[in-house]
Amino acid sequence: MNDLVAGGNATLPDGALALRVPGPFDLSVIVTGEAGKVAGDGDFVFYNQPFAPGARLAGDTVTVDPRGLRAGAARVTVVVSPADPGTPLGSLPPPVLTVAGGGGAVLVRFAPPRPGHETVLLLAELYRRGEAWKIRALGQGYADGLAGVARDFGVEVTEEGSETHEGHGHGPDATAEEFAALVNAERSAAGVPSVTVDHRLVSAARAHAADMAAHGRLAAESPDGTSLYHRIAVTGYRCLTVTEHLVSGPRTPAEFVAYCLAGSERALPFRDPAVAHVGVGHAPAPSGDTYWTAVWAAPMTTAGLARLAAEVTALTNAERAAAGLRPLAADPRLAVAAQAHSDDMVARDFYAHTSPEGREPWDRARAAGCPHPGIGENIACGQRSAAEVVRGWMNSPGHRANILKPDFAHIGVGYATGSSAGTYWTQLFGT
């Protein structure tokens, strides 16, 4: 792997290349000819226009196949900007560009010097030399936003009402704020607190909508295994509660909200007092459909996690009481072990009682200092509330047997969000 410095270059292999910049950023590329100008607005690949011949944007990755670029293309410039427009890049984690070949191995990495007040950075350019393609690290900053960069490359930019002006036409901020206003009108009528737009959730929602549009499918997980919840985690937002809407068809925020409110299940987040933040994104597909992602979340807090664990314990004890059994006492050592397992499943993208290195529930309990001679464990993933997860366990014979086992006297609960399923729950029981 080549680690480039500004001005450095490297030769690239034939075939498609995956250019990735993870984090709270928008990634764009501009295709130009020998003169450094676009042939038309279609050469600007960005959130609202994720396709061009030989280039496809999906989330935090642009795939470029130099062989498929339009006739006369000689350069592809890689541009990064904050997902929250107007935010100085210097206030965000430094962007890092990696370029991978067809086999997935990283060929080139470029970490530019930390930007200051700039709001856009030209990270690198792919350029043709004879029949070969090379990459040059740039690190050139702009203070006047994505529109200024686009103009310099010959893209026609309209300041109001255009799909290619800075802020992505309708605008990520405008779309999210309009969506939040419609949501809060509904929440006001229901007597629940308003929600606020979180730029990290907007970034994740927009990346996921773009990926769904690129593949023409509604799914919480991309074909490459990246889920919406991975995208949220990358932004740094830690969820206590999270739910989402994945929809195709509506053209405006108002149409999207109307569709959601028309279904009883879809309407639930609009009136859920636990929701504190929202993010929304949309992207056009080659078919002409528009794909939407909306994320509803509350941030993880120590107190919130404790309340959720206590709710799971209370619901579990209600089931035991209905069966004439004694309640389980909360054991902080079991809770430590249970929480560690939920965290581990999220961190290492697995779902099992046995950890990748072979540790079992009783091993984890022993490591946490639990003295109980008998140990049992329930796990679950994907459920969005304490009531839903306990109901699911009670509907499963093996999990129900643990909850209603007379010998068990103690319980610890763990819960974490992220990975593929979004939520990961652990109950650890001790005699």
Question: Does 165 have pLDDT greater than 60?
Answer: no
d(C-alpha 203, C-alpha 143), whole Å? 21
| Amino acid making up residue 106 | V
Question: Does 163 have pLDDT greater than 50?
Answer: no
**pLDDT value of position 360:** 96
Question: Does 170 have pLDDT greater than 50?
Answer: no
> For residue 31, what are its two tokens?
């295709």
**pLDDT value of position 40:** 81
Confidence of residue 86 (pLDDT cuts 50, 70, 90): low
CA angle 280, 251, 246 (to 5 degrees): 45
Q: Is 35 exposed, middle or buried (0-12, 13-18, 19+ CB in 10 A)?
A: exposed
359-396: per-residue pLDDT in tens? 999 999 999 999 999 999 999 999 999 999 999 999 99
d(C-alpha 299, C-alpha 297), whole Å? 7
Mean pLDDT of 306-316: 97
How far is CA 142 from each of CA 11, 13, 149, 278, 322, rounded to the nearest angstrom? 27, 30, 7, 29, 65
Higher pLDDT, 193 or 89: 193
Helix (H) or strand (E) holding 373: none
**What is the torsional sign of CA 28, 32, 35, 40?**
negative
| Amino acid making up residue 171 | G
Phi–psi pair at 354, nearest 5 degrees: -95, 125
The pTM of this model reads 0.60
Question: Does 166 have pLDDT greater than 50?
Answer: no
**pLDDT value of position 145:** 67
**pLDDT value of position 2:** 87
| Amino acid making up residue 267 | A
> For residue 17, what are its two tokens?
């290349």
d(C-alpha 393, C-alpha 389), whole Å? 6
**pLDDT value of position 273:** 95
d(C-alpha 202, C-alpha 57), whole Å? 17
Mean pLDDT of 78-95: 84
d(C-alpha 120, C-alpha 141), whole Å? 6
Query: Distance from first CA to last CA of the chain, Å, rounded?
Result: 53
Q: Contact 331/411 with Cβ under 8 angstroms?
A: yes
d(C-alpha 301, C-alpha 286), whole Å? 41
Of 390, 323, 280, 263, nearest in space to 47 by CA: 280
- For the beta carbon of residue 290, count every other beta carbon within 10 angstroms: 19
**pLDDT value of position 85:** 67
**pLDDT value of position 156:** 60
Q: Who's near 375: CB < 8 A, 6+ residues apart? A: 361, 362, 365, 428, 429, 430, 431
**pLDDT value of position 97:** 95
Of 227, 230, 232, nearest in space to 212 by CA: 227
Higher pLDDT, 152 or 241: 241
Q: Contact 427/413 with Cβ under 8 angstroms?
A: yes
**pLDDT value of position 142:** 76
CA 23 to chain centre: 10
Higher pLDDT, 352 or 167: 352
Mean pLDDT of 75-81: 93
One-character DSSP codes across 258-284: HHHHTSTTTTGGGG-TT--EEEEEEEE
Max mean pLDDT among 50-59, 151-160, 274-283 falls in 274-283
One-character DSSP codes across 19-84: EE--SSEEEEEEEE-TTS--SSGGGEEBTTB-EETTEEEETTEEEE-GGGSPTT--EEEEEEEESS
Question: Does 87 have pLDDT greater than 80?
Answer: no
Of 3, 204, 223, nearest in space to 98 by CA: 3
Question: Does 290 have pLDDT greater than 80?
Answer: yes
Q: Give me the chain's average pLDDT, please.
A: 89
213-271: per-residue pLDDT in tens? 999 999 999 888 889 998 888 788 889 999 999 999 999 999 999 999 999 999 999 99
d(C-alpha 273, C-alpha 355), whole Å? 36
Confidence of residue 164 (pLDDT cuts 50, 70, 90): very low
Higher pLDDT, 269 or 81: 269
